[in-house]
Structure 1
Amino acid sequence: MKQFVTLLIFFSLAGLVLAQEDNDGIDPVTLDAITVSPVNVDYLREVNDGNTPEVVQELQFKAANFDVTSLSEYDKKDIHTFDVVFKASNGDIIASYTADGSIVKAFEKFENIVLPMTVRKMVFDGNDGWKMEKNHYMCVFSEDNLTKKQYKVTLTDGHQKKKMTLNFDK
């Protein structure tokens, strides 16, 4: 048994020494760093900010990285714009793509979502004791510009109702 353990240690050390050998004259190659960005980085930059709900951000990212050329209906010669609908359980994004995959228009509409903390603070500032009954989020993007970003919130306090509209247009 003592010899077996000694042989096992010897072969383990020999394996480590052999693993440290030169790579048979193969020189490592250093590659230049590249930056890959989605085609629709302008869309993401315009619609996504600190006032964008998390569920919306996830769908916006999918829309920005979507490859319209992967669809069977896609024909580069025949199409001026191509509409694609991205759905979530509580809303959707309808995005219009050009033949090269750029988003030229997008309409986002969601209902009863978890509002970002900054928006919640705006809603409940001065509305202590009120509860949010429902909310709607809408965003319109057109030709590289955010044209509308809005929350509509309904608050209740017993039998009283209060409606608020928060605009985040640029």
Structure 2
Amino acid sequence: MKTFIFGLVFLGFTNLTAAQEVIASVNYDKSSFKSELTTPVKNSEYLSNFDTKNVSEVISDFQKYVANYDLANAKVYTSEDPSIYHISFSEGNNRVEATYNQEGALISCIEKYENVRLPLTISSKIARQYPDWEFNKVNCTIKYVKNSDAIIAYEVAIKKDSKRKTVKYTL
């Protein structure tokens, strides 16, 4: 019986020592990191089409990634043949279908984002037009073609009790 009790006590101490593992926690704060571009952005014309007030940070970050995409590192890239490349980007429910030329310049793209933050100008218009309604879902579609203005369309699903509506805004 003594060995049984001694065994239980020993197992209890073993459990306590296993609970003393060190766990490190890292908090990522985007505002504490400042990135500096050492090379010019290849597709700066694409980025200059968008006012940061009209798109959320998620969209803006994704657009920067698409603009800085290095086509020369893609597996399908060949420098011998003049070609057009269709590249698909996705992150969660957000998708971008981009078309690049041989030099890596962005020719066009169609962007679809789900559940993004609505710009303040649009959300205040909807709030005034539909008081006591709540925002249910916000989708954004952006169409860009080189040498023309981008079309930004928001589709906002709102609801009040059992009523549901979809409101569309184009910028």
Alpha-carbon distance between aligned partners in 1 of 2:143 and 2:43, rounded to the nearest angstrom: 15
Alpha-carbon distance between aligned partners in 1 of 2:123 and 2:89, rounded to the nearest angstrom: 26
In the TM superposition, residue 117 of structure 1 has moved relative to its aligned partner by 2.5
Alpha-carbon distance between aligned partners in 2 of 1:144 and 1:37, rounded to the nearest angstrom: 19
Aligned equivalent of 1:124, options 118, 127, 137: 127
Matched with 1:37 is: 40
Segments of 5+ residues of structure 1 without an aligned counterpart are 1-34
Aligned equivalent of 1:99, options 94, 99, 102: 102
Matched with 1:113 is: 116
Instruction: Report the aligned-residue RMSD.
Output: 1.7
Deviation digits for residues 80-133 of structure 1 (CA, Å, limit 9, x no counterpart): 211111212231111111111100011000111222333322221232210112
Contact kept, 8 Å, 1:46 with 1:144, in 2: the verdict is no
Contact kept, 8 Å, 2:49 with 2:150, in 1: the verdict is no
In the TM superposition, residue 144 of structure 1 has moved relative to its aligned partner by 2.6
Matched with 2:91 is: 88
In the TM superposition, residue 161 of structure 1 has moved relative to its aligned partner by 1.8
Q: What amino acid does structure 2 have at the position aligned with 1:39?
A: K
Tell me the TM-score normalised to structure 2 length. Answer: 0.72
Matched with 2:167 is: 164
| Secondary structure of 1:55's aligned partner | helix
Alpha-carbon distance between aligned partners in 1 of 2:91 and 2:44, rounded to the nearest angstrom: 22
Q: Percent same amino acid among aligned pairs?
A: 22
Matched with 2:146 is: 143
Q: Which has the larger radius of gyration?
A: 1
Q: What amino acid does structure 2 have at the position aligned with 1:99?
A: Q
Decide which moves more: 113-122 or 89-98.
Answer: 113-122
Alpha-carbon distance between aligned partners in 2 of 1:109 and 1:46, rounded to the nearest angstrom: 17
Tell me the TM-score normalised to structure 1 length. Answer: 0.72
Alpha-carbon distance between aligned partners in 2 of 1:160 and 1:73, rounded to the nearest angstrom: 49
| Secondary structure of 2:58's aligned partner | helix
Q: Does 1:64 align with 2:67?
A: yes
In the TM superposition, residue 79 of structure 1 has moved relative to its aligned partner by 4.2
| Secondary structure of 1:150's aligned partner | strand
Give aligned pairs, total. 134
Segments of 5+ residues of structure 2 without an aligned counterpart are 1-37
Matched with 1:25 is: none
